[in-house]
Chain A
Amino acid sequence: MKLLKLVPDNTNIPFLKVRVVTFIVSILIMAASIGAVLTQGLNFGVDFIGGQMIQATISDVEQAPVEEIRTKVNSLGYGEPTIQRFGEPNQISIRMKLPEGAEDEPELANEMATSIVNKLKEDYPNTVIDGVDSVSGKVSSELFSTGVTALLAAMFAIALYIWVRFEWQFGVGALFALMHDVVLTFGLFAVTQLEFNLNIIAALLTIIGYSLNDTIVVYDRIRENLKKYRKMDMPALLDLSVNETLARTVMTSITILVPLVILMIFGPKVIFGFAAAMAFGVLIGTYSSVYMAAPILIWLKVGPDSFIPVDDGKSQEDKMKEGYGAVV
């Protein structure tokens, strides 16, 4: 039987030849992402900014009349609603700020939800309420800060682990690659204005995990080759390592991407954003392992000596001057 080989044997693609260009481009895209987040902002869900979200399906129409509903909800006097379609075209989510004083009087939030729901049911009798979320400002700011803490803690804990298992340069490289992935994903959410909620934090942490899979596989091979080919110069050695692991990289990216894309297409529409974030993350995670994580090792002066006991080359005299205190 002839088996499928996506990547031919013994490839020798000079990936890192363009490392300076790709690195600059990556930095620019990161800057653009940050810019997008700052200028456009993220479309935060009630999880993170507090407020009320009512999800409803208007079952007897093709398309939910968003503008009409906006006017109607607005006329109730609770302020301007944010109305979006989610999932099917006749499914909408209505987001409201919590009314003044609702922090102390949960009744007020209740009243608002009830009157919006009643209004919907009155004007569109076949409305099914899919869910009501109401999050107070206090809880939402807690959710936000724990979410950010989780992200940062995960990144640094992982970098620390890699430092312990490899060398500090590898830890820095991995951390940088992770930052690249996270920043770009934030950028994606700023540009698309997909709702950014608690689930997306989960997606981000997973992206971190799997982007790291790739980075570790490449790093593991670099470490192995550094011990094996002690005379090879760094760029060539990195290229060799990336090429040797290329078949695996392609294969794994596909096996992860295929289920995710299927989830995006056939899965419940409510997790479209979630699946999209992860698919995006897998793609850029693969890229960053090659073009962010690897070249940094060159610039941080990783060499064949990184994995054997270091003789720093300083003479005995120099060490004495620096106060090593050796007795001659």
Chain B
Amino acid sequence: MTDFPRWRVIMLYAILIFGVVMAIPSLLPEETRAKIPSFFPQETINLGLDLAGGSHILLEADPSQVAAVRLEAMEDSVRSAMKRADVDIERVSRNDGNLSFTVPNSSKVDAAREAILPITANAFGGRDWDFQVNDGNRIILEPTDASIDNSIQQAMETAKDVIDRRINELGTLEPNIILQGENRIVVQVPGLDDPEALKALIGKTAKLEFKLVDENADPDLTAQGKARVGSQVLPYPTNPSGVPFMAVRRIGGISGDNLTSASQSFDQETNQPVVSITFNSEGGQKFARMTQQNTGKLFAIILDKQIISAPVINEPILGGASQISGNFSIETANELAITLRSGALPVDLKIVEERSVGPDLGAESIRLGSIAAMIGTVSVLVFMVITYGRFGIYANGALIINVLLILGVMALFNATLTLPGIAGFVLTVGAAVDANVLINERIREERRRGRKIIQAIEVGYKEASRAIYDANITNVIAAVLLFAFGSGPVRGFAIVLMIGIVTSVFTAVVITRMWVTGWIKRNRPQELVI
């Protein structure tokens, strides 16, 4: 009982001081916090969206779309590789995730195989695509599972970066963007309670293409949405002719991936809002070539598979700078400029969950929650003293330290406090004293049975500890599962619960024992009031 070595006392106090110091910044108001000297810890507890107000958006990509886009790109590579190798191919088809084509001239099958090898290998010397030859001249390319997973992962990471750039364009927001699972992205923006602008920004793929208009298309067929061979019909909602479709040529266009800048400006003649774009040198050359070869013809500016305008190429555009006209307002032109600047999303993202919380509700919750937490804590403190006297004061000391430790540990890990988290906090206060109740009741019991003071305390701590540990371990089990399966605010609750369990066992069992031991050593009490 009396063996409580000095090094242990020092260590315990060191932990306590560290925890309390960590808790301080979170307790101070904003202005005071700014004046904290830099050697002092600055970490604070994050407020969850339900308390701080803000938006939470869960986006989901369709993995099969990533695979389809990849297949499409493979078709292009195969076609150009075969052109270079001078191999004619026909009956190209994309089916069930495979790409297949026929080499009619059987003597060229080996040449085709040679040409395919480099474009189906990956950077690590392995294969991204398996290929086989059926019936002597039908070549089938099938992506490996690993390469599909890999490309989905890459697409998601790119998408995350693109979203990050787009939101940063909105200004001072501090978004929290995380990948979730294999095909989801969580976007959380504290302080933004009207997410309309945000959604307009991240909801657009922003894939820009320039294609030649098929000026020989049959207008009747086009109006029905049908295209002739070599063309495709795309929606054109703002078509001045009134027909909401237009036919464009499949080949001979360029994509808008190679932009170096995009900004909203005004057309010098019409004074309409437009988006000015600049290509990099590669894109600029392609654009120059296309405009040179097709001067006088119409070309379509296509955004996300929808035509936004179809101007005439008046003269070759050689400098790599151009402008996109359309039916823009200043806002929509600006939005488009932002999305073009930040790059196209490699995959469509759908909003599958959206939550926004106004700032007032959160502030009110914090205020009421803190008041309730304080009243709750104070009543427990009072109750403990009138029930256990000196031992109640020890338990209270442990409880107060426990509260500070929870805050400190949460700040240390930058944990997020949510509304259920406040409830978890209140509950922890009630439950934390349970350990001391168990110990103190046991000491009372042992005294009743006639044990001497020191013995009673020793047995009290020892016998009570067993149940305390068992009970807390089961609670940790529940909290871990809560964290594993929960989401958002519920996770915040689980974190408070877990931290609270660990710190409460520490303070309620270890710290109070240190104090009780010290008191016994100093005073050698003859009577135990408990």
Contacts and interface: CB of A to CB of B under 8 A. Distances in A.
Given A247-B441, A259-B376, A270-B361, A220 B477 contact: no
Interface residues of B, number: 78
A296 B315 CA distance: 91
A315 B234 CA distance: 88
A224 B60 CA distance: 55
B388 A3 contact: yes
Contacts, number: 241
Contact of B420 (A5, A149, A199, A208): A199
Contacts of B484: 150
A192 to B, nearest CB: 18
Interface string B339-366: 0000000000011111111101100110
A106 interface: yes
Contact of B490 (A104, A135, A198, A212): A198
Interface string A150-167: 100110011001100100
A301 interface: no
Consensus secondary structure, chain B interface: helix
Interface in A99-138: 104, 106, 109-110, 114, 128-136, 138
Given A209-B475, A216-B474, A149 B380 contact: no
Interface in B211-228: none
Interface string B25-59: 00000000000000000000000000000000010
Nearest to B49: A131
Contacts of A265: 372
A268 B364 contact: yes
B485 A146 contact: yes
A266 B370 CA distance: 10
Residue in A138, A139, A150, A221 with the greatest tally of chain B CB atoms within 10 Å: A150
B380 A255 contact: yes
A79 to B, nearest CB: 19
Nearest to A213: B471
Consensus secondary structure, chain A interface: helix
Interface in B288-312: none
Nearest to A146: B485
Nearest to B388: A3
Interface residues of A, number: 77
Contacts of B438: 217, 248, 252
A139 B58 contact: yes
B403 to A, nearest CB: 12
A192 B364 CA distance: 25
Contact of B419 (A57, A110, A205, A271): A271
B386 interface: yes
Interface string A254-269: 1111111011011110
Interface stretch (B236-244, B317-325, B462-470, B511-519): B462-470
Contacts of A9: 444, 448
A38 interface: no
A274 interface: yes
Contact of A259 (B430, B437, B489): B430
B353 A262 contact: no
A175 to B, nearest CB: 12
Given A213-B434, A260-B426, A134 B354 contact: yes
A158 B474 contact: yes
Contacts of B506: none
Interface in A201-260: 201-202, 205-206, 208-210, 212-213, 216-217, 220-221, 224, 244-245, 247-248, 251-252, 254-260
A263 to B, nearest CB: 5
A199 B420 CA distance: 7
B445 interface: yes
B482 A260 contact: no
Contacts of A146: 485-487
B150 interface: no
Contacts of A220: 466-467, 470
Nearest to A206: B427
Contacts of B372: 259, 262-263, 265-267
Contacts of B373: 259, 263
B512 to A, nearest CB: 15
A258 B376 contact: yes
Contacts of B488: 198
B133 interface: no
8 contacts: A106-B203, A132-B355, A143-B487, A153-B485, A213-B474, A220-B466, A262-B375, A268-B369
Given A247-B444, A262-B375, 7 more contacts: A57-B361, A131-B357, A133-B354, A216-B471, A263-B372, A267-B372, A271-B423
Interface of B: 58, 60, 193, 196, 199, 203, 350-358, 360-361, 364-365, 368-369, 371-373, 375-377, 379-380, 383-384, 386-389, 419-420, 422-424, 426-427, 429-431, 433-434, 437-438, 441, 444-445, 448, 463, 466-467, 470-471, 473-475, 477-479, 481-482, 484-490, 493-494, 497, 529-530
